[in-house]
């Protein structure tokens, strides 16, 4: 005889329904919501993410393979049919012995995640621009890393190009004759020092009127990798503040041969001071050349930049911006309360997709509109009254 559904099945059914309801019903309290986000997150945790970021970026910088993303893992975790790592698309030109270490190749046109990854004739992830600034044009130079470069999105979908389109449209709506060009100097794995160097070597040639210096919560990690490689390759630090910082780290040849943790422990106390000095140097250069400068903070998608985890980094960025009298546009809350699945390019990749970039653009446009001084700098007029 078929036994009726017994009570333990009903209990099992009820428990399953409760587990489902917990995920769907809005929970009271930040802590409860944070825990739920963790339980729903298929991403690596912070420690693994840092290790993986190291693997990914070390692989990118040193030209090695992308770690841990073999065909099997990707098939099991979820991969689009045309997935490639940044290293695999071979859009990077390595500059051995050069402080910049690597840059984008010009005139690249690859398909990644079904989107076109293109670079212009000057090796920028952007539309084509003449070096000489056209008359009546206001130029914005964006310095940043992969979030700003745009990975897994097409060139026109990056928040930077959406911003350019909006600036022109907004100016036209307000009857302002000024044209706008936002030029993207960002590159995957560029640390704060790389960004400063790109400003010095590339961005200045375009005579920008405003420099947007983009920061992420991964900056300390990127800087650590760059400094470790500099020490290993005995590169010239180029900047006096960096020379002093490296001397203070007191890394011996024996440290360089020891386990990674040894050198990491010597570098880590100096990471924030180096970022501070980098922004200070950039601010001084912008001031001397009469360029405007603003800092923005761009979040990654998912748990890694949750409000609890990003708090200390945001405080540090705010302190640095304040010390150097640079306006800070904190966009780090852009992805809060959003389902990461809808704005990440893949479960294992915390770069924003096209929707994520659209949200970043909207947050940036609002921040500009809310900052009277910055709005005036950009448009040359006062912001419209609400």
Write the DSSP symbol of residue 382: P
By the rule CB under 8 A, 32 interacts with other proteins? no
Residue 35 as a binder of other proteins (CB under 8 A): the answer is yes
Q: What are the C-alpha distances in Å from 61 to residues 49, 71, 105, 185, 191? A: 17, 22, 14, 17, 11
- Which of 6, 177, 288, 337 binds other proteins (CB under 8 A)? It is 6
Kindly tell me which residue out of 3, 26, 29, 97 binds other proteins, with binding defined by CB under 8 A: 3
Do 279 and 295 touch, CB atoms closer than 8 A? Answer: yes
Is there binding between residue 25 and other proteins (CB under 8 A)?
A: no
Task: Determine, following the binding rule CB under 8 A, whether residue 2 of this chain makes contact with other proteins.
Answer: yes
User: Is residue 30 a contact residue for other proteins (CB under 8 A)?
Assistant: no
Shortest separation between residue 217's beta carbon and other proteins, angstroms: 16
- Of residues 173 and 260, the one with the C-beta less far from other proteins: 260
**How far apart, in whole angstroms, are the C-alpha atoms of residue 188 and residue 194?**
11
Rank residues 35 and 247 by Cβ distance to other proteins and give the closer one.
35
Only segment of 3-11, 169-177, 214-222, 268-276 that touches other proteins (CB under 8 A): 3-11
Site for other proteins, residues 212 to 271, rule: CB under 8 A: 261
Indicate whether 342 belongs to the interface with other proteins (CB under 8 A). no
Q: Closer to other proteins by CB, 16 or 252: give it.
A: 16
We find the least distance from the C-beta atom of residue 21 to other proteins, in angstroms, to be: 10
Q: Report the residue from 69, 79, 122, 170 that binds other proteins according to the rule CB under 8 A.
A: 79
d(CA 220, CA 163): 27
**Total residues at interface with other proteins (CB under 8 A):** 37
Contacting other proteins within 274-293 (CB under 8 A) = none
| 340/351 Cα distance (integer angstroms) | 10
Q: How far is CA 164 from CA 150, 261, 295, 299, 362, in A?
A: 15, 43, 17, 20, 12
Question: According to CB under 8 A, which one of 27, 58, 89, 347 is a site residue for other proteins?
Answer: 347
Q: Does 39 bind other proteins (CB under 8 A)?
A: yes
Per-residue tokens: 188: 């995957």
d(CA 320, CA 120): 33
d(CA 293, CA 287): 8
Spell out the alpha helix ranges (H) of the chain: 7-24, 30-39, 46-62, 71-77, 146-149, 159-173, 192-201, 219-233, 240-249, 253-257, 260-267, 271-288, 307-323, 340-343, 354-370, 372-379
Closest contact distance (angstroms) between CB of 137 and other proteins is: 45
77 binds other proteins (CB under 8 A): yes
Among 30, 32, 45, 109, interactor with other proteins by CB under 8 A = 45
Name residues contacting other proteins, limited to 141-170 (CB under 8 A): none
Cβ closest to other proteins, residue 155 vs residue 303: 303
> In terms of Cα–Cα distance, which of 280, 286, 266, 368 is closest to 319?
280
Q: Of 7, 8, 177, 288, which one interacts with other proteins (CB under 8 A)?
A: 8
Judged by DSSP in three states, 116 sits in strand
Regarding 16 and contact with other proteins (CB under 8 A), the answer is: yes
The SS3 of residue 115 is: strand
In whole angstroms, how far apart are CA 347 and each of 38, 73, 343? Answer: 14, 12, 10
Shortest distance, position 34 Cβ to other proteins, whole Å: 8
Distance (Å, whole) CA 153 – CA 114:
9
Give me the least distance between CB of 30 and other proteins, in Å please: 14
Is 24 an interacting residue with respect to other proteins (CB under 8 A)? yes
**Binding interface with other proteins (CB under 8 A):** 2-6, 8-9, 12-13, 15-17, 19-20, 23-24, 35, 38-42, 45-47, 70-72, 75-79, 261, 303, 341, 347
């Amino acid at each position: 005889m078929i036994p009726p559904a017994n009570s333990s099945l009903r209990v099992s059914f009820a428990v399953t329904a409760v587990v489902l309801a917990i995920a769907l019903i809005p929970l009271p309290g930040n802590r409860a919501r944070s825990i739920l986000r963790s339980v729903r997150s298929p991403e690596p945790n912070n420690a693994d993410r840092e290790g993986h970021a190291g693997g990914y970026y070390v692989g990118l910088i040193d030209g090695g393979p992308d770690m841990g993303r073999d065909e099997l893992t990707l098939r099991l975790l979820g991969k689009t049919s045309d997935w490639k790592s940044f290293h695999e698309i071979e859009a990077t030109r390595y500059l051995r012995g050069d402080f910049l270490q690597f840059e984008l190749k010009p005139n690249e046109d690859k398909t990644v995640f079904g989107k076109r990854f293109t670079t212009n004739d000057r090796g920028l992830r952007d539309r084509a621009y003449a070096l000489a600034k056209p008359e009546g044009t206001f130029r914005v130079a964006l310095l940043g890393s992969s979030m700003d470069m745009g990975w897994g999105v097409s060139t026109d979908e990056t928040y930077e190009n959406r911003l350019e389109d909006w600036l022109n449209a907004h100016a036209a709506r307000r009857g302002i004759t000024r044209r706008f060009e936002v030029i993207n100097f960002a590159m995957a794995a560029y640390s704060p020092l790389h960004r400063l160097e790109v400003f010095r070597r590339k961005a200045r040639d375009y005579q920008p009127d405003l420099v947007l210096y983009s920061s992420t919560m991964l900056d300390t990690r990127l800087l650590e990798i760059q400094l470790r490689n500099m020490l290993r390759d005995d590169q010239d630090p180029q900047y006096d503040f960096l020379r002093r910082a490296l001397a203070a780290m007191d890394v011996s040849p024996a440290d360089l041969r020891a386990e990674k943790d040894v050198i990491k422990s010597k570098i880590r106390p100096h990471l924030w001071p180096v970022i501070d000095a980098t922004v200070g140097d950039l601010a001084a250069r912008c001031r001397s050349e009469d360029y405007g400068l603003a800092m923005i903070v761009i979040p990654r998608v998912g748990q890694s930049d949750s409000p609890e985890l990003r708090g200390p980094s945001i405080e540090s960025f705010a302190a640095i911006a304040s010390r150097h009298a640079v306006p800070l546009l904190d966009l780090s809350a852009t992805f809060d309360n959003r389902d990461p699945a809808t704005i990440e390019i893949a479960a294992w990749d915390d770069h924003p997709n096209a929707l994520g970039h659209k949200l970043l653009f909207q947050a940036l446009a609002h921040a500009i509109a809310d900052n009277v001084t910055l709005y005036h700098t950009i448009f040359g007029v006062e912001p419209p009254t609400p």
